[in-house]
Amino acid sequence: MSEATNTGFNRNNPIDKQRNERKHMPKHASRLVLLLAVSSLVLTGCATEAAPEATTEAAATATEEATTEECVPAHPGLTTVEAGLLTVAAYEYPPFSAIDGESLSGAEGEILHAIAELECLDVMVQPGTGAAMIPAIESGRADTTLGSWYRTAARAEIVLLSNPVIIDQLTLISVSGVDSVEGLIGNKVGSTLGFLWNEDLENILGDDLSLYETTQALYADLASGRISVVVDTFPSGQAALKNTPVEGAVFNVPAPDERVVSTTKPGQTNFPVNLNNPGLQEAINDNLDTLRESGVLGEIAEKWGFSPTAVAETVPNLL
């Protein structure tokens, strides 16, 4: 998966505006000053053989100044793990997150790149397994993470949670058409590690619930018949079935069932940060507002198979 490209410039779009300031203006200034510096060097060389080192140093200094045109961050003075970088603990969980070489893709990946751009930061990808993501933030090895991490009371005790990014919803995926929590009973069911609903499902299903480290392994077992039902989110399931097709698979959102909290209160994903970095939390929240108001969040959501309402402003909750 690759990031969307859009060559049209919109002066009202905060990302385009920032990119214009960072990229187009410095290039023009660089070319002009470099031309002046080289011209000066040539003229000086023609006039005299003296002090070649001085003229060379002057040209180099002028060129360096031109190419270090300052980008103005939305929140100056942000503290990150490494200066100039937004270090993101990342794992593969399409369509929320994917690692595309040295950059991120997926809905949340593109959103984080947009946030980093507003803060004049480059994204540094720190790949790992799903189980390693939150510990990386808690320990201070990474600035934030992505991949559908819900806002929960338990997580709020160990990391700072951002405002909601994407509103998510539990979905049942099967060939038999299971459409309720009650219908899961008697079936072999699979889910990915890290979901809030896993504990509730374990209480209902016991050993009939299997937890997987990767979505690839989860859907491979659905395709082979080792499990009958996958508990996932709609967009994640769509993305997974493109890579691991399961003939006849259908998607059903179950009716609210008090035994599984996630069916009564949909999850809200977020970009968590270390407890000692409230400044970064505030910056992420402000930038999410900016991107939402400009329409950028909606565009990214639709590109990756979400409804624009999935990124609408909502009251933050804790599961």
Mean pLDDT value of segment 78-100? 96
The ranges assigned to domains in the chain are 14-67, 85-160+269-311, 170-264
pLDDT in tens, 309-319: 889 999 999 98
> What pLDDT is recorded for position 253?
87
Residue 280 confidence (pLDDT) above 90: yes
Q: What is the dihedral of CA 80, 86, 87, 93, to 10 degrees?
A: 140
Q: Is the pLDDT of residue 31 over 50?
A: no
Res 88: pLDDT: 98
Least confidently predicted of 31-35, 119-123, 196-200, 297-301: 31-35
For residues 214 and 91, give the distance between their C-alpha atoms in angstroms, rounded to a whole number: 9
> What is the pLDDT at residue 216?
93
pLDDT confidence tier of residue 50, bands split at 50, 70 and 90: very low
Measured on CA atoms in the order 12, 18, 23, 28, is the torsion positive or negative?
positive
Mean pLDDT taken over the chain: 84
Confidence band for 55, pLDDT divided at 50, 70 and 90:
very low
Residue 300 has pLDDT above 50, yes or no: yes
Whether residue 15 is predicted with pLDDT greater than 80 in this model: the reply is no
**Poorest-confidence range of 80-89, 219-228, 262-271, 289-298?**
262-271
Give me the mean pLDDT over the 272-284 stretch: 98
**Do the Cβ atoms of 113 and 123 come closer than 8 Å?**
yes
Where is 192: in which H helix or E strand? strand 189-192
pLDDT-derived band at 13, boundaries 50, 70, 90: low
In this prediction, residue 22 has a pLDDT band, given cuts at 50, 70 and 90, of very low
**170-264: same fold as 85-160+269-311?**
yes
How large is the average pLDDT for residues 305-311?
85
Q: Residues of the chain with pLDDT > 70: what percent? A: 78
Superfamily of domain 170-264: Periplasmic binding protein-like II (3.40.190.10)
> Between these two residues, 5 and 245, which has the higher pLDDT value?
245
pLDDT at 308: 82
Q: Please determine, for residue 223, whether its predicted confidence score (pLDDT) is greater than 80.
A: yes
| pLDDT given at position 304 | 93
- pLDDT for 49 equals 40
With beta carbons less than 8 A apart as the criterion, state whether 221 and 227 touch. yes
- The most distant pair of C-alpha atoms in the chain lies apart, rounded to whole Å, by 92
pTM over 0.85? The answer is: no
Burial of 58 (0-12, 13-18, 19+ CB in 10 A): middle
Q: What is the pLDDT of residue 168?
A: 83
pLDDT at 53 over 80: no
Q: Which helix (H) or strand (E) holds 127?
A: strand 122-127
User: Any idea which fold 85-160+269-311 has?
Assistant: D-Maltodextrin-Binding Protein; domain 2 (3.40.190)
Q: Decide if pLDDT at 80 tops 50.
A: yes
pLDDT at 10 over 70: no
Would you state the pLDDT for residue 232? 95
Task: Check residue 306 and give its pLDDT.
Answer: 87
Q: What is the per-residue pLDDT for 37?
A: 38
In the predicted model, what is the mean pLDDT of residues 80-109? Answer: 96
Residues contacting 57, CB < 8 A, separation 6+: none
